[in-house]
Amino acid sequence: MLVLGIETSCDETGIALYDTRRRLLGHALYSQVDMHRDYGGVVPELASRDHIRRVLPLVAQVLEQTNISLEAIDAIAYTQGPGLAGALLTGASIGNALAFARNIPVLNIHHLEGHLLSPLLSDPAPDFPFVALLVSGGHTQLMHVKGIGQYKLLGETVDDAAGEAFDKTAKLLGLDYPGGKLLADLATQGQPGRFRLPRPMLNSNDLNFSFSGLKTAAALLINKHKQKASTQTRADIALAFEDAVTDVLVKKSITALKITRLQQLVVAGGVGANSRLRQKLQHHLAGTGIVVFFPELEFCTDNGAMIALAGALRLQQLNEKPPGSDGSFTIKARWNLEDL
């Protein structure tokens, strides 16, 4: 079965075609990050205005690149939430109208379910059940994933998301928006051990995270050196920050694996692209028999492939094909993954 996926929850327009037998057939992505950079962050109204210009041209591009006609598509999967309301509504309107006009079913996908399942796009892919560490600009969660739609929250951040802490600290270091990746690049020049930042909640007896105190400590450190902050000093601070965040993420993930006695860890979301995090996890899990899975770099951040995949897996799980869409739709700007 062939599923067209549409992602428009924030500042990326993603379109993809996924087939339950032949897997990912094609995908296209447009990132608005350059547009929002001048504003220092995502402007919701501008994001929506851009999505409505991009969705159909990207759909046309994916159909052409895969040489598949719209008539061959069996269902449409779109991101119903969570995310920016106006941005979600844009993808929802186009996706639902397409499904209505072709009389095919529509699948309402949870954005984070897409992220959780994104390592299934790779080879080798994990099997259910697994522990998922979801780290993005908006979320930091540990999940016990038993199967499609069976997600149990093990722990999450009590304040800032890890990606958000990366971005805010990067800004204080004078880096462009979104600075997570740039901070990581700067940290590669850093001298280990020159600074040490706190690792909040490292030894709390739960699987929750906190990053706002760490961000404040980094801000104090940056201010202290402001006058004479050489590139080297900035790199050293970046490294100390990255070290602290990744230490906490690694420790809590390992604890989650111990508690659940599971043998597979899946890392998803934008911060999953961070190489220090990847190296540390590989290093700590070497020899334990636990395997860690990362999505391909291009599927770490928002994309249409993970939405098409989630739709296809949901469709496959149903006993019979659902009826064609009646065209009525709503979005869910706030939506708890456990409510699925």
Ligand X SMILES: Nc1ncnc2c1ncn2[C@@H]1O[C@H](COP(=O)(O)OP(=O)(O)O)[C@@H](O)[C@H]1O
- CA 239/CA 233 separation, integer angstroms: 10
Q: How would you classify the pairing of strands 140-147 and 130-135?
A: antiparallel
Interface mask toward another protein for 315-334; x: CB under 8 A: ----------xxxxxxx---
The one of ligand X, another protein, none whose footprint includes residue 206, by CB under 5 to 8 A per kind, is: none
Mark residues 197-236: x for contact with ligand X by CB under 6 A, - for none. Answer: ----------------------------------------
Q: How many residues bind another protein (CB under 8 A)?
A: 38
CA distance 10 to 22: 29
Q: Is 243 annotated as a binding residue?
A: no
Decide whether 212 or 263 has the Cβ nearer to ligand X.
212
Tell whether 14 is in a known binding site: no
Distances (CA, A) of 19 to 54, 58, 75, 79, 104: 23, 18, 10, 18, 15
Nearest to 302 by CA among 131, 143, 89, 87: 87
Quick note: the x/- pattern for ligand X over 6-25, rule CB under 6 A, is ----x---------------
Annotated binding-site residue? 136: yes
Q: How many CB atoms lie within 10 A of CB 44?
A: 15
For another protein, which residue of 1, 33, 52, 148 counts as binding (CB under 8 A)?
Answer: 52
Does 96 bind ligand X (CB under 6 A)? Our answer is: no
Nearest Cα residue to 115 out of 69, 82, 66, 84: 82
Residues 308-327 that bind ligand X (CB under 6 A): none
Contacting residues for 203 by C-beta, under 8 A, at least 6 apart: none
User: Could you tell me the two tokens for 41?
Assistant: 């962050």
DSSP symbol at 156: E
Select the residue interacting with another protein from 40, 147, 174, 192 (CB under 8 A).
40
Maximum C-alpha span of the chain: 67
Binding another protein by CB under 8 A: which of 33, 68, 85, 219? 85
Q: What is the spatial distance between Cα 316 and Cα 120, in angstroms, rounded to a whole number?
A: 15
Q: Report whether 34 belongs to an annotated binding site.
A: no
**Rounded CA gap, 285 and 266, in Å?**
13
Per CB under 6 A, contacts with ligand X among 125-184 are 136-139, 163, 166-167, 178, 180-181, 184
Rule CB under 8 A: choose which of 43, 68, 148, 254 binds another protein.
Answer: 43
What letters, b where the CB count within 10 A reaches 16 and e where it falls short, cover 270-305? bbbbbebbeebbeeebeeeebebbbbeeebbbbbbb
- Is residue 114 part of an annotated ligand binding site? no
Q: Shortest distance, CB of residue 227 to another protein, whole angstroms?
A: 20
# chain residues binding ligand X, by CB under 6 A: 19
* 49: its two tokens: 């205005």
Instruction: For the CB of residue 97, give the shortest distance to ligand X in the complex, in Å.
Output: 25
Least distance between ligand X and beta carbon 9 (Å) = 7
Residue 99 or 267 with smaller CB distance to ligand X = 267
Question: Using DSSP, how many helices (H) and how many strands (E) does the chain show?
Answer: 10, 10
What one-character-per-residue DSSP string does 260-316 give?
HT-SEEEEESGGGG-HHHHHHHHHHHTTTT-EEE---GGGTSS-SHHHHHHHHHHHH
Residue nearest to ligand X (CB): 270
282-301 footprint of ligand X as x/- string (CB under 6 A): -------------------x
Beta bridge partners of 78: 6, 108
Q: Which does 333 bind (CB under 5 to 8 A by kind): ligand X, another protein, none?
A: none
Question: Residues marked as binding?
Answer: 111, 115, 134-138, 167, 180, 274, 302
**Residue numbers at the binding site for ligand X (CB under 6 A):** 10, 136-139, 163, 166-167, 178, 180-181, 184, 269-271, 273-274, 301-302
**Residue numbers at the binding site for another protein (CB under 8 A):** 38-40, 43, 45-46, 48-49, 52-53, 55-57, 59-60, 70, 85-86, 89-98, 100-102, 325-331
